[in-house]
Structure 1
Amino acid sequence: MRVVLAGGGTAGHIEPALALADALRRLEPGIGVTCLGTERGLETRLVPARGYELQLVPAVPLPRALTPQLLTVPGRLAGAINAAASIMDRTSADILVGFGGYVATPAYLAARRRGLPIVVHEANARPGLANRLGARLTDHVFTGHPQSTMAKAELIGIPLRRDIVQLDRLSMGDKARSWFGLRTDLPTLLVFGGSQGARSLNQAALAAGPVLRRAGVQVLHVLGPKNALEQEPPPGDPQYVVLPYVDRMDLAYAAADFALCRSGAMTCAELTAVGLPAAYVPLPHGNGEQRLNATPIAQRGGGLVIDDSDLSPDWIIQNVLPILRDPERVATMSEAAAAMGRRDADVALARKVLEIVGGRS
């Protein structure tokens, strides 16, 4: 059996695809998995690192408005569809599973041309253009959000890495804090902006750092690989640890009592799966899906939601610091976040894929 996975560009598209690939291999060790991507996405690093074959197709961004660039789309899209179809032929693909992103559009159309079953997974409440197209080509549509706007989607959750879903934060807390050079006896704030970081979060957290430390709170701050630090936090205790990137996010979650972060679908799914409460700062642009991702968590008591324009050092001091200094409130919010999480979506989706191939529908 051969499965082709299409999801590229950001970690939010790639990580669920790789989690599904891992689950498929656990269920069917001899299964063949090929990932489609483009040369501009994170998949060029993430997919080979996880041991999967990566095949590249040309990226075809779809303009959101009537511009001269729109005239070039049909020709470039045809080339990408042909490239994807050729990969499906060479791999003798039995099914395509798409997760969105630039690579998904030509992949869906190529699979339709080849008569392959198509599975669409949409992580967000509001689907992107590629998955809206894909959903028109199949009855096998799954979502990770309980308030999805896709009419025929089945709620299944977002496939997550095993090191996340198997994490026991409480038992790993002391080891994780020691890993990052943090004390084991102090409340810890984790700050991160996703795979690329977030400047507004970085600036607000760094400015609030001195007050947090004077209040006895230590900080683990992941800047993002493309973000420079103008001035290092001064040495001292409690620690303010700054890192450009963290490969072991499971340990970062285990080290933390509370997080300050964006609210991409993957971030929300991972934090609820491990029961880590957070102050979510939705991206200020896009179609508003990040606010939709975080709102149900906040409504259940598992976090806070703050607009990017309202985030400031004072807001962190007035809203996040009191939570970190109240262990009972942290525990209550952790339980509420965990109640929203799902840890079995990878296996559930893998079983669906195997069933669909078995029925060839």
Structure 2
Amino acid sequence: MRLIISGGGTGGHIYPALAIIEDLMKQEPDSKVLYVGSKRGLEGSIVEKLGIDFVSLEIQGFKRSLSLENFKTVSLFLKSVKQSKKIIRDFKPDVVIGTGGYVSGAVVYAAARAKVPTIIHEQNSVVGLANKFLSHFVDKIGIGFKEAADQFPKQKVEFVGNPRAQQVANMKSTFKWSEIGLKDDVPTVLIFGGSQGAPKINNAVIAAIPQFNQRNYQVAFVTGKGRYDGVVQGLNKINVNDNVKVLPYIDNMPNVLPQVHLIVGRSGATSIAEITALGIPAVLIPSPYVTADHQTKNTMSLVNNHAAVMIKEDELNSDSLIRAIDSLMTDEEKRASMAASSKQMGVTDSADRILTIARSLMN
């Protein structure tokens, strides 16, 4: 297969694309893949390190308020479409897949206009602007949440889950808690507000440390690289017992997750894909700062299936955090039930499903 894939800006768009590429190369090692990303996004540094051919386009998103910058956005989009047409002519893909972000809008639109088979993947329960635009032109649409189905043309939609889930489910964990100074035989809570950290979550955890010190379970608290020094300063006058470990970041999260008994954190699409693939009980604190409050809608998908509990950020403090964690860490049966519900929601062949759709469009 000759595949052009495009997704950019954030890990939520990049990692599903990488999971599709990984699965394709396992199935068809002779395949040729070209990743088209944005110059401003994270994808360049991530993709090129993996030895995947990469081309970047200069593109930016629309401002939601009236702004002269939007004229530049339109100009960059049209320029990127023109560049994408040339990339497509030169590479001659069998199929083009977009996993979100503004760069995928230009690439997939150009492919659709060139009559190349096209697929987009929507990770969230609320559809992003690029995918909403592309839905009118593409051949097929894969969704990660069933709640997204009625936001697209019905005849094009297939529920496929999130490709990141397949990647995580197939990984063999070699991690031990003793590597970071905790015990391997004690139930463990992982608190993680994302790679950049979440100040409200970090502050609630700092205030809760004296209570965590007294618990029979242990806590791995990941602050985010840029927040670590501030958290350490906040803990300056607080004793931290051996059952609590404060870390700036965990590099290989999929290797750690199978050893987690309860996860506390945000509810981005990638996080939820990983959680449900492994069946991890969760306390989710959706970010209120994302488009259309989509993390709350992502969270409610799990809550309604008894796979997670939610704390709204404006209700988050040390007491509500401890209450939610204790209710699960002191009740093994409840955790097991939640884990089973989570696992039932997980889709562990998502990349396979997308590649099957791709092959059907090629025939």
Fold in common (TM above 0.5): yes
Map residues 20-169 of structure 1 onto 2, 5 A cutoff: 20-148=20-148, 149-152=151-154, 153-160=157-164, 164-167=168-171
Aligned-residue offset at 1:231: 4.4
What's the secondary structure of 1:18's corresponding residue?
helix
1:337, 1:30 → 2: CA distance?
A: 36
The one-letter amino acid of 1:222's match is: V
Residue 261 of structure 1 is matched in structure 2 by 265
Deviations 1:112-157 (A, max 9, x none): 3322111111111221110011110023111010111224221111
Taking only aligned residues, the RMSD between alpha carbons, in angstroms, comes to 2.0
Q: 1-side partners of 2:337 and 2:106: how far apart?
A: 46
Contact 1:187/1:325 (8 A) holds in 2: no
Map of 2:219 onto structure 1: 219
Q: Which runs of 5+ in 1 are unaligned?
A: none
- Tell me how far 1:248 sits from its aligned partner: 1.5
Task: Find the aligned partners of 1:294 and 1:115 in 2 and give their Cα distance.
Answer: 37
Q: Which runs of 5+ in 2 are unaligned?
A: none
- Secondary structure at the residue paired with 2:120? strand
What corresponds to 1:295 in structure 2?
300
Mapped to 1, the partners of 2:167 and 2:63 lie a distance apart of 37
Q: Residue 87 and residue 244 in structure 1: after superposition, are their counterparts in 2 closer, same or farther (change >3 A)?
A: farther
Check whether the contact 2:302–2:342 (CA below 8 A) recurs between aligned residues.
yes
Mean Cα displacement is larger for which, 232-241 or 255-264?
Answer: 232-241
Task: Provide the identity percentage.
Answer: 30
Cα pair distance change 1:161/1:334, threshold 3 Å: closer
Query: What SS is found at the alignment partner of 2:227?
Result: coil
Q: Is residue 165–residue 348 contact of structure 2 (8 Å, CA) maintained in 1?
A: no
Quote the Cα distance in structure 2 between the aligned partners of 1:99 and 1:300. 26
Query: For residues 239 and 170 of structure 2, what CA distance do their matches in structure 1 show?
Result: 34
1:345 aligns with 2:350: yes
Distance 2:274 2:223 in 1: 19
Q: Distance in 1 between matches of 2:77 and 2:38?
A: 13
1:281 pairs with 2:285:
yes
Q: CA-to-partner distance for each residue in 1:89-121, whole Å, 9 max, x for gaps?
A: 332222210011121111122213322111111
- Give the 5 Å matches for 1:164-313: 164-167=168-171, 175-232=175-232, 237-285=241-289, 286-313=291-318
Residue pair 1:217, 1:238 contacting (<8 A) in 2 also: no
> Which amino acid letter does the alignment assign opposite residue 25 of structure 1?
M
Is the alpha carbon distance of 1:236 and 1:315 closer, same or farther for their aligned partners in structure 2, counting shifts above 3 Å?
closer
- Does the 8 Å CA contact 1:216/1:238 hold for their aligned counterparts? no
How far off its partner does 1:269 sit? 1.1
**After superposition, what is the alpha-carbon deviation per residue over 1:299-322, rounded to whole angstroms, capped at 9, x for unaligned?**
222111111111111111122123
Q: In 1, Cα distance between the equivalents of 2:213 and 2:49?
A: 37
How much does 1:236 deviate? 5.6
TM-score w.r.t. the length of structure 2 is: 0.91
State whether residues 192 and 221 of structure 2, in contact with CA within 8 Å, keep that contact through their aligned partners in structure 1. Answer: yes
Stretch deviating more after TM superposition (346-355 or 264-273): 346-355
Q: 1:126 to 1:292 in 2, by over 3 A?
A: same
Q: How many aligned positions are there? A: 354
Cα distance, 1:319–1:352 mapped onto 2, change above 3 Å: same
**Alpha-carbon separation, structure 1, partners of 2:193 and 2:40:** 20
SS at match of 1:226: helix
Equivalent residue, structure 2, for 1:319: 324
Q: Which amino acid aligns with 1:15?
A: Y
Equivalent of 2:360 in 342, 352, 355: 355
Distance of 2:239 and 2:54 partners within structure 1: 43
What one-letter code is carried by the residue in structure 1 that aligns with 2:279?
A: G
SS in 1 for 2:264: strand
